[in-house]
Amino acid sequence: MGIMEFYLPMVLNKKTYPILFFIFLFSLHGQVKEKKPRTFLFGLIKFDTESEYEDGYWINKWFYAREFAAPISIIPIEIRYGIGANGKSTGSASNLSSDSFKDDPKKIRYESDVSSISQGVNNIWGSSIEVDVGLINLPHYIVGTSWMNVMNGLSYRSSTLFAPAAVPYNEWAATNSNWGDTTYFSPKLSEYLATTHFQYQPFDNWYLNFRYSYGLASALSILRIKKHGTMICLVLELLQQER
């Protein structure tokens, strides 16, 4: 069986040149222009506006990544331990020295005009331990949401100093003769709090934890005395903390 072929001859003359020219212009106008990246500082900085993902991908990733994930319903216990300084910082981050962290005398108030406790850099460092118990994701049980874990529970936090400073016993002994010559100021802070954790997790490998706590704090001031035992002063106060 043969194949029939038809040929349409085209005669090029001076009259057809303008027609071909207009056809060529319209074909160029119909092409999609390629978007070039925005440049700044003579092309040194470039921002590519093109994305390999569909529209709305990053919004869903950052704000709705956990919408259909299995939420954390309960955390029985969580323990944290840390080391820090209780004072004020001086200088700059580029010029750190032994005087970059100092004691803040304004944090200790005295009832009478006596010599204050002189705390050095080594006297303001201490440790802190915090225990969270019975953290429950209440919004998950109430409204069924899972895009953010909101944990509610009870917390206990305690902090002490590593190397407490010596008190000016020469002057303070006039008030209480039982204080010996090796007396140290060693405060201990205990906190009993109702806490709320906001766990924001846009990705599977990490999350941000925002905490808010409110409760009762007890300041237990212990004066360690070598010769005459230990004197304990207990002060209770309401404490509101935001983490």
pLDDT exceeds 60 at position 237: no
Closest CA to 73 of 150, 155, 156: 150
What gap in Å lies between CA 70 and CA 241, rounded to an integer? 30
* Residue 205 falls in which region: left (phi positive, over 0), alpha (psi -120 to 50) or beta: alpha
Residue ranges of the domains in the chain? 57-242
The residues with which 137 forms a beta bridge, in sequence order, are: 151
85-101: burial string, b at 16+ Cβ within 10 Å, e else: bbbeeeeeeeeeeeeeb
Position 162, amino acid: F
What per-residue confidence (pLDDT) applies to 184? 78
pLDDT, one tens digit per residue, over 153-198 is 999 999 888 888 887 777 766 656 665 566 777 878 899 999 999 8
Position 71, amino acid: P
pLDDT, one tens digit per residue, over 7-58 is 444 555 555 666 666 665 555 554 445 556 666 666 556 555 566 666 777 7
What gap in Å lies between CA 143 and CA 234, rounded to an integer? 43
Mean pLDDT estimate for the chain:
71
pTM of the full structure: 0.57
pLDDT, one tens digit per residue, over 53-79 is 667 777 777 777 777 777 788 999 999
